[in-house]
Amino acid sequence: MAIYVIAAGFFFGYGAKLLSLRRDAGEIAYIYRSFWTDIAPNLIAIGLVAYGIYRTGVLTLGPFTGIGVTSGFSLIGFGFWGWTVHVVPEFRKEGLLMLDQFIPWKQVLTYQWESEESLQIDYLTQNKKLSEFTTYIPPEDQLLLERILGKKIIEYEEERKQMMLELDDE
């Protein structure tokens, strides 16, 4: 039972952290939506929550057992976490959100098209290391995303230059 309680606490806490991170990152400017990246994960999360509620014994009005209640809560927590995490990057008002990592716009250095539908974004991590990620962007959304990225790169150009100067001094 203790392992189920720990798992439930972990997933509820992690899900709450992701919700807080999303709130701090601002409104969504762009996110790639498809059945497999948006609807299917949410359906699985809803199924896990529903099965978790059933597992606790609340729907059947008993019998309530410690193992049933705690395992139900861990399933509900896992479903909640699954509902809060997105498998595709979110381009938000304040920065990029990838799974559980937030990258402020001032840390985004460049972007380039690796192929026709593959966008590579280079950025600095919190500990000032250069990193990159590549994501799929459908052709019909490429112009919109180019406008968003171009606007954000220009908007934070001075802060980015200052960060680069500090990095050179180290």
48-58 pLDDT, tens digit per residue, is: 999 999 999 88
Question: What pTM was computed for the model?
Answer: 0.80
Mean per-residue pLDDT for 40-63? 92
Q: Do 117 and 125 form a contact (C-beta atoms < 8 A)?
A: no
Q: Burial level of 57, CB count in 10 A (0-12/13-18/19+)?
A: middle
Under the banding of pLDDT at 50, 70 and 90, the label for residue 170 is low
Residues 6+ apart with CB under 8 A from 95: 25, 102, 103, 104, 105, 107, 108
What's the pLDDT at 130? 87
Q: Look at residue 153 and tell me whether its pLDDT is greater than 80.
A: yes
What's the pLDDT at 127? 83
Name the residue type at position 158.
Answer: E
Q: Which two tokens stand for residue 22?
A: 């999303």
What's the pLDDT at 19? 94
Under the banding of pLDDT at 50, 70 and 90, the label for residue 165 is confident
Q: DSSP code of 51? A: H
What's the pLDDT at 144? 93
Q: Look at residue 116 and tell me whether its pLDDT is greater than 80.
A: yes
Q: Which ranges constitute the DSSP H helices of the chain?
A: 2-25, 40-56, 66-84, 142-155, 157-169
Q: Look at residue 167 and tell me whether its pLDDT is greater than 90.
A: no
| Cα separation, 120 vs 163, whole angstroms | 21
What are phi and psi for residue 144, nearest 5 degrees? -60, -45
Mean per-residue pLDDT for 89-106? 92
